[in-house]
Structure 1
Amino acid sequence: MLRVTDDLGRIIALAGPAQRIVSLVPSITETLCALGAGNRVSGVTDYCIHPAEEVRGKTKVGGTKTLRIETILSLHPDLVIANAEENRKHQVAKLEEAGLNVFVNFTRTVEGCLKMISDIASLTETEDAARGITASIRASLDKAKARAPAPPPRVLCPIWKNPYMSINRDTFVHSILRAAGGQNVFEEHPDRYPKFTLDEVVLKRPEVIILPTEPYRFTEADKTDFETLGEKVSAVSHIHIVEGELLSWYGPRVARALRELSALFRGETPSSGRG
């Protein structure tokens, strides 16, 4: 019998390693594949797009917030993996009411990401693969910490536009920015996803601006809004479009995210190497 405690503090018990998994979280789908358990994933969401060659033939069960409950039930999964924020609570409750084992994740830190990988490995008995992934992440963490600039550069990281929104310290995006050596200018804001104006950007005095390609797809054209601030904000000469998954997908790509963000915060050109 396998027993693993999820992020809601509940013990999920399985008779053996999960064999028919429905993943409702894109980054966890990617993690399952990296662990070598991709062939045991029966269903994924419309947003589970990595790795493309492994998810292409999987049954789609809807969007992360618009799940097709009947489709999930028809797959007869022995394990469903959900996220407390990415999936809607009432839909997850319906799956549990139907008698399914639902493991709920709520990763908000890099350390939480390492726990998630370990938890998923325990549920699938892929601990050997997990040790390799977590070792790579820890090595990148240690290297980023050793090379972090002092003081850390003040970083503005919008995640949405119209209205502009950023992140506070209770988010995974904040954690990875911090671990890579940056200081989130909205870390102390009481809202997890604070709205802000360009006038507030001047007051926050960012030195680096990170524009991710998700959840809002920022492009080169979006730099103009910040460039209009001119000499009032030193970050206007340090605006970077960054692959959104590097900031918000907790899992095997975290090692590369730490390396590339760490390089940006040191004023270097990051390597495009994968892994």
Structure 2
Amino acid sequence: MSGPAVLRLLWRTARWAAAVAMAVAGSAMAAPVQVVDDRGVSVQWAQPPQRIVTLLPSLTETVCELGECAKVVGTDRYSTHPQAVRKLPKLGGLDDASVEGIVALRPDVVLLGISSRIIDRLTALGIKVVALEPRSQPDVQRVIGKVATVLGKRPEGDRLWRRIEGELKAAAAFVPPAARGQTVYYEVDAAPFAAGESSFMGATLKSFGLVNVVPASMGPFPKLNPEYVVRANPALIMVASRSATALPQRPGWSGIAAVKQQRVCAFSPDETDVLSRPGPRMGEAARVMLKCLQRLWPAGQGAR
């Protein structure tokens, strides 16, 4: 075979190989997607959704961490991370999300919390909904996996969870020995609602060797009688900074060991945002907690 003939053959072979590769890639991108959400409802698409609305900050962050932030067309008002989502249309919160605003964005899927009040209305309008409920650490792992499945990126979801696990373990390794074994009350809201042992925050506290005064039997985020906290007498309190200054004024709370000894982690609004979101920044949240423990129990200082 002459040189030009060989070149023509190689060129045709290369074009054929490229066409096959593109066809394979195209079929992978267009592969059908199916997920069963936390209601037990199966949702299907002919290909991964291209227009996504997220109505929980943790779900927004998960989509973006998986590399699909550009597909998010609207979020809840509390989604502020990463920076790119701040410019997107804001569609309300858990109790006042705008159905009309969502419909106008023509989403292929709406990712939201299972307690959202608009699930039935969106479904009746033909909008596909995936309802998820990340409350515990196993929940977070499951939710990340489901979001990754919706995006057609399950391997990336598995890698993300392994990264989070690694960050949580790394933070736990640096907890001051004197802090381990201390009792802790983590206040989510001044009602007061607490983060119990079974919550995702509670799991981090447990990995730090802290003893949550709200056992798993009470649920992940129970509303407490303030007297319960007084009787529990925690050695450490974790709370938002806006509530910390008022702790001594609560009836009976001035006698709590944590208040008397000023063992209070008062988290800034930005820190509170990180701590309250069960998603990709859980490792960062663990480091926020760790920083406070290291301040309250400096190296070489015993428990008091």
Same fold, TM exceeding 0.5?
A: yes
Structure of higher RCO (CA pairs closer than 8 Å, 6+ residues apart): 1
Cα distance in 1, alignment partners of residues 250 and 72 from structure 2: 43
Residue 221 (structure 1) aligns with: 245
Aligned length, in residue pairs: 259
* Aligned 8 A contact 2:188 2:239 in 1: yes
* Letter matched to residue 245 of structure 1: D
* Aligned 8 A contact 2:237 2:258 in 1: no
* Closer/same/farther in 2, CA of residues 82 and 232 from structure 1, 3 Å limit: closer
* Letter matched to residue 142 of structure 1: K
Residue 152 (structure 1) aligns with: 181
Cα distance in 1, alignment partners of residues 101 and 132 from structure 2: 21
Residue 177 (structure 1) aligns with: 205
* Closer/same/farther in 2, CA of residues 118 and 204 from structure 1, 3 Å limit: same
1:69 matches 2:99: yes
User: CA shift at 1:37, angstroms?
Assistant: 0.6
TM-score normalised by L of structure 1: 0.81
Cα distance in 1, alignment partners of residues 262 and 246 from structure 2: 14
* Aligned 8 A contact 2:79 2:86 in 1: no
Residue 94 (structure 1) aligns with: 121
1:119 matches 2:146: yes
* Structure 1 gaps, min length 5: 270-275
* Letter matched to residue 107 of structure 2: P
Indicate the RMSD between aligned Cα atoms, in angstroms: 2.8
* Aligned 8 A contact 2:180 2:209 in 1: no
User: CA shift at 1:231, angstroms?
Assistant: 6.1
SS in 1 for 2:265: strand
**Structure (1 or 2) with the larger CA radius of gyration:** 2
Cα distance in 1, alignment partners of residues 265 and 187 from structure 2: 11
Cα distance in 1, alignment partners of residues 33 and 39 from structure 2: 17
Q: Work out which of the residue numbers 81, 100, 105 in structure 1 matches 2:111.
A: 81
* Structure 2 gaps, min length 5: 1-31, 299-304
* Aligned 8 A contact 2:172 2:207 in 1: yes
* Letter matched to residue 236 of structure 2: V
1:233 matches 2:257: yes
Which stretch of the first structure deviates more once superposed, 53-62 or 164-173?
Answer: 164-173
* Aligned 8 A contact 1:84 1:105 in 2: yes
* Letter matched to residue 203 of structure 2: S
* Aligned 8 A contact 1:208 1:265 in 2: no
* Closer/same/farther in 2, CA of residues 16 and 229 from structure 1, 3 Å limit: same
Identity %: 26
Cα distance in 1, alignment partners of residues 131 and 238 from structure 2: 30
